[in-house]
Amino acid sequence: MFDLLLQATGTAPDTVLVHPGPMVFPPIVFGIITLVILLALHAITFAFRNMAQAHPDKSAVLPYEPVGHPGTPIIDTAADRH
C-alpha cells in the first residue's frame, strides 16, 4: 500500500509528530502529593475509628421488623390511621 502511494504521488505522506508539553511538576512530586492526600484520608478515618464506644448510651440494637418488606403483609392497625 505504501509503495502504491509513493508511485502515485512521488513523495511520502505527511506525518504528524505529537510532542507532549512539559509537565507542571516532576513525576516524584505527583507521587508525594498523592501520598500526602492518602495519609490525610487515613488520619481522618483513624480519628473516627471507634465512635460506637464513644457514645454507649445511644448504641442500641433495634429488633428487626419485617413489616413492609416484599413478601410480608402490611398490617393496618388503628394506631397507624391518625
Q: Which residue has the higher pLDDT, 40 or 77?
A: 40
Residues counted in the chain? 82
- Which pLDDT score is estimated for 81? 56
- Which pLDDT score is estimated for 69? 63
From CA 15, how far away is CA 13, in angstroms rounded? 6
- Which pLDDT score is estimated for 20? 86
Chain centroid, CA 37 distance in Å: 15
- Which pLDDT score is estimated for 5? 53
- Give the mean pLDDT of the chain: 75
- Which pLDDT score is estimated for 16? 78
- CA distances (Å), origin 52, targets 17, 19, 41, 48, 55: 60, 55, 20, 9, 6
